[in-house]
Amino acid sequence: KGRKTTYEERVEIVKYCIEQQNNYAKTAQKHQV
């Protein structure tokens, strides 16, 4: 189960995910979500 995130955090996470070619597993692991 992921932690609570702020709107700003979500924007950063989405940007990171797009940069990683939508690698959701890597993104979730990096941001603990």
| Model pLDDT for residues 1-33, shown as the tens digit of each residue | 567 778 888 888 888 788 878 877 887 887 777
Whole-structure pTM value: 0.56
Q: Cα Rg for the chain, rounded, in angstroms?
A: 9
Question: What is the token pair recorded at 15?
Answer: 């940007």
Asked if residue 30 lies in contact with residue 5, where contact means CB atoms within 8 angstroms, the answer is no
Question: What is the token pair recorded at 29?
Answer: 């692991």
Residue-level pLDDT at 2 = 65
Look at the block and give the residue holding tokens 């797009």.
18
